[in-house]
Structures are given as structure tokens and as C-alpha cells.
């Protein structure tokens, strides 16, 4: 829905960046994992660096090279994403919320900065606001997928928050929904919401060509958090989802706000 709203001349460039992100994610999570994934990510980074040297051979990078040239995108956002994908192969727990934010700095924030480059409006002020939005989106996704991530061996809920709420690893193993888990999730959902609040001013600071999309990112993230609230934070029982009708209404409201 968001790409449908973009000017036709921007859509291929968004697709080129999406292809890079999709391939990166698949190399990390849709392979055997561990050593093999790390080796594939090293190969992918070598392809990225070759692209920036003007030697693109893989179809993804042949297309991406045009986008990089047209919008003068530096290598850092693309490279930072690979840092996060590598981290997922070795780190399955985060002790503090600050450590988790450090992960999101590489796993989510580069995407927002790439959108700003495509909008030809990247600077540090807008970049910081985009970071808040993208970290909020990453956290909303984590809280939505607690069960799925645990079944893959990962816990993104900060360990210090789990201890403070009295929710231990044995409860995770049982997928136990209890007052402790609800307390834990209430706090983490509020944290994610505060990041959307912090990033909201970005909408007024970006050009019209991407304004609706940025608003949709924020509204979509809030909708995920509200879906978690609607199931009383019991993401063990079922994954919270945003209905097609709700997505359509988000689109209408974002259009009206623009």
C-alpha cells in the first residue's frame, strides 16, 4: 500500500533497496545459520563493497548501483544492516534495554535513513527522528513475535526487565501467560509507543513524496502495539495482527493528515 502511493519514478529505487534488505535477511535467517550464515553474509558484504567500487555483478547490486548513484547514498546504512544480521547469529539474549537499542541501531535505523536518502532529505536531525520511528517499529515487531522468536532460540525482551517483572526462563519455555508477563509486556509496549511519539515530528520535515509513507510507518507501528493491547498482551496465545480493514483505514487517515 505504501509503495502504491509513491511517485512512479521512486518505486524502482524502493524496490532495489528492499531487494538488498530481503536478500540480507534471508542469508541470515533462511539458511543453516551459524557459521554458514556468517560466511554468506561476508560474501554479501564483499558484493556490496564491489558495488561501491563500480564492479556490480549480482543482479541485486546491478540494480542497486543505479539507486546509489542517483541518490548519493553512502555505504554505511547497507553495511550496518549486515552488522545486525551477523549479531543475530551469535547473540540470542540482551541484558539491558540499552543493549537492545544498540542492536536496533543496526537492524532497523539504517532503513529509515535509506528512506530519507530516497526522499533527498537526509540530515542528522531527520536521521535521529527516523531512528526513533524505526527502533519503535523493530520493538513492536519483537513484542508481536515473542513466541516465534523464542521458538527460534531468541529472546529480545531485555533480561533486566524480565527479572524486574519476575518472569524467568522456565516461564518462557512453558509459554506461560501470567501477571508477571503482562506487567513485562505493558512496560515494553509503552517504551515502543514513546519512540513513535518522539519520531512523529519527522512527518512535517520530509517532502510530500514520502510524507504519507512515513506517517504510515508510525501509524502501522502504533496499530501493532494496539493489537497487542487488544489481546491483553497474551502474545503466547496468538500473534497480534492488524486487519486489512485497519490497514486501509490507516492509509485513509495518513492521506488526510498529509
- Using one digit for the tens of pLDDT, what is the confidence trace for 185-242? 999 999 999 999 999 999 999 999 999 899 999 999 999 999 999 999 999 998 877 6
Domain boundary among 88, 117, 134: 88
Encode pLDDT of 11-35 as tens digits: 999 999 999 999 999 998 766 567 8
- Please, are residues 88 and 41 in contact by the beta-carbon 8 Å criterion? no
pLDDT at 193: 98
Domain shared by 151 and 71, yes or no: no
Domain shared by 137 and 190, yes or no: yes
Cβ neighbours, 10 Å, residue 237: 11
Residue 147 confidence class, pLDDT cut points 50, 70, 90: very high
CA distance 127 to 189: 23
Domain shared by 95 and 83, yes or no: no
Domain shared by 77 and 113, yes or no: no
Domain shared by 176 and 98, yes or no: yes
Domain shared by 83 and 98, yes or no: no
For residues 41, 42, 46 and 52, what is the CA-based torsion angle, rounded to 10 degrees? 60
pLDDT at 35: 85
Domain shared by 69 and 144, yes or no: no
User: pTM above the 0.75 mark?
Assistant: yes
Domain shared by 5 and 110, yes or no: no
CA distance 173 to 26: 26
Worst-scoring range by mean pLDDT, 1-10, 91-100, 232-241?
1-10
Domain shared by 72 and 104, yes or no: no
Domain boundary among 33, 53, 88: 88
Q: In this prediction, what percent of the chain has a pLDDT beyond 70?
A: 90
CA distance 122 to 165: 39
pLDDT at 128: 98
CATH of the domain at 220: 1.10.600.10
Average the pLDDT over 85-109 and give the result: 96
- Please, are residues 228 and 236 in contact by the beta-carbon 8 Å criterion? no
Domain shared by 131 and 241, yes or no: yes
Domain boundary among 88, 120, 148: 88
Q: Is it the case that residue 248 has pLDDT exceeding 70?
A: no
Q: Which residues form the domain of 63? A: 1-88
pLDDT at 1: 45
Domain shared by 209 and 198, yes or no: yes
Nearest-10 crossing angle of helices 109-118, 59-71: 60
CA distance 24 to 145: 20
Query: Total domain count for the chain?
Result: 2
For the ranges 162-176, 209-223, 237-251, the maximum mean pLDDT occurs at: 162-176
Domain shared by 192 and 162, yes or no: yes
Amino acid at each position: 500500500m505504501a509503495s502504491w502511493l509513491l511517485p512512479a519514478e521512486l518505486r524502482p529505487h524502493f524496490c532495489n533497496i528492499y531487494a538488498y534488505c530481503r536478500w540480507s535477511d534471508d542469508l541470515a535467517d533462511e539458511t543453516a545459520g551459524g557459521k554458514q550464515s556468517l560466511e554468506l553474509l561476508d560474501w554479501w558484504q564483499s558484493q556490496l563493497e564491489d558495488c561501491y567500487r563500480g564492479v556490480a555483478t549480482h543482479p541485486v547490486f546491478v540494480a542497486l548501483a543505479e539507486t546509489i548513484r542517483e541518490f548519493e547514498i553512502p555505504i554505511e546504512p547497507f553495511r550496518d544492516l549486515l552488522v545486525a544480521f551477523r549479531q543475530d547469529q551469535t547473540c540470542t539474549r540482551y541484558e539491558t534495554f540499552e543493549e537492545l537499542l544498540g542492536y536496533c541501531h543496526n537492524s532497523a535505523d539504517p532503513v529509515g535513513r535509506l528512506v530519507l536518502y530516497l526522499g533527498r532529505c537526509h540530515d542528522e536531525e531527520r536521521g535521529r527522528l527516523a531512528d526513533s520511528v524505526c527502533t519503535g517499529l523493530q520493538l513492536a515487531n519483537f513484542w508481536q513475535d515473542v513466541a516465534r522468536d523464542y521458538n527460534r532460540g531468541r529472546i529480545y525482551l531485555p533480561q533486566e526487565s524480565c527479572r524486574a517483572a519476575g518472569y524467568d526462563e522456565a516461564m518462557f519455555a512453558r509459554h506461560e501467560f501470567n501477571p508477571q508477563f503482562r506487567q513485562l509486556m505493558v512496560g515494553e509496549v509503552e517504551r515502543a509507543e514513546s519512540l513513535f511519539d518522539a519520531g512523529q515530528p519527522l512527518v512535517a520535515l520530509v517532502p510530500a513524496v514520502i510524507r504519507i509513507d512515513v506517517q504510515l510507518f508510525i501509524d502501522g507501528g502504533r496499530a501493532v502495539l494496539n493489537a497487542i493491547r487488544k489481546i491483553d498482551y497474551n502474545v503466547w496465545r496468538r500473534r497480534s495482527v492488524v486487519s486489512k480493514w485497519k490497514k486501509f483505514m490507516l492509509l485513509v487517515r495518513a492521506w488526510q493528515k498529509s
